[in-house]
Amino acid sequence: MTYAIDPELLPWLDMLPAVTLTDHESLLAARAAMTELGDVLPNYEPVHPVDVRDTTVPGPSDAPEVPVRVYAPANRTGAVPGLLYIHGGGFVLGDLDMFHAALLRLVDELGIVIVSVDYRLAPEHPFPAPVEDCYAALQWVEAKAAELGIDPARLGVAGESAGGGLSAAVALLARDRGGPALSFQYLGIPELDDRLDTPSMRAYTDTPLWNRPNAVFSWTSYLGADPGDVSPYAAPARATDLAGLPPAFVTTCQFDPLRDEGIQYAQRLAHAGVPTELRHYPGTFHGSGMVENAGISRRMFADEVDALRRGLRI
């Protein structure tokens, strides 16, 4: 198909990694390509000093410790809001370096503490390992809030792509397990529905970076070839009750197979009484925000900063 992609994004299409997920060999190649992506994307030098440290936190029961990266404003006085950040990558790609520059920038702009989670990846570690790692990290953030300088009353969760789906799942787990209490959820271009049956998912078989074939591989890796009854903590779109969840900000891109499931989830959140904002960006594709210099990408980042500012009551 031909897509009316924003003209400022077009020159970057050949420079972004071609992610084609069909088998284990292609997955290993994609992981290598994502590692090399750091050489293409610009670094970020904070205006204000930011302390960054890597550590590990207790994992789920009978599971390994979970690596996390803690970002904190060096000159903060008193407790500030906290954000658990969950990287994207279709449940099968990504690490702590994937969004490092973006998180430095958020801490610099907002003066918050961010804890980024290096959860285990599928297919080596299918559901529930990734989401349980993220939930364990959230429990650690709450338990260590005073030590981290976080105001526990202003704790949110955020992520993009699979990280957006995992963020939605963590919000469901936190509600259903009685905490930790979340004040906000940022669901960026979220991967939410394993049923692969929305109009955008059926139509977008060859879109840049992410498309239906990749989504099929992603969900099969996460759930297995014959998952049976799929848990809403794996695919939040399957949750029948969305009441009582924290306020949400949801973003979607026009030429993204995940577009419609994000829109539908935002609609259902609003219908369940959850304060919800939805931003849809024309001419964009999944992950196009990596092209930071494009006007639409600058607007997307400004909207993210504003949403976090309001959602975490900064």
Q: Which residues have a catalytic role annotated?
A: 161, 256, 286
In this structure, the strands spanning 66-73 and 80-86 are unpaired
Phi, psi of 57 (to 5 degrees): -125, 160
- What is the spatial distance between Cα 157 and Cα 155, in angstroms, rounded to a whole number? 7
- What is the spatial distance between Cα 116 and Cα 122, in angstroms, rounded to a whole number? 18
Report the first-to-last Cα separation within the chain, whole angstroms: 43
Phi, psi of 97 (to 5 degrees): -85, -15
Residue 12: how many other CB atoms lie within 10 Å: 17
**Strands of the 248-255 sheet, one edge to the other:** 50-57, 66-73, 113-117, 80-86, 150-160, 184-188, 248-255, 276-285
- What is the spatial distance between Cα 2 and Cα 204, in angstroms, rounded to a whole number? 10
Phi, psi of 156 (to 5 degrees): -125, 175
Two tokens at 49?
A: 């000093």
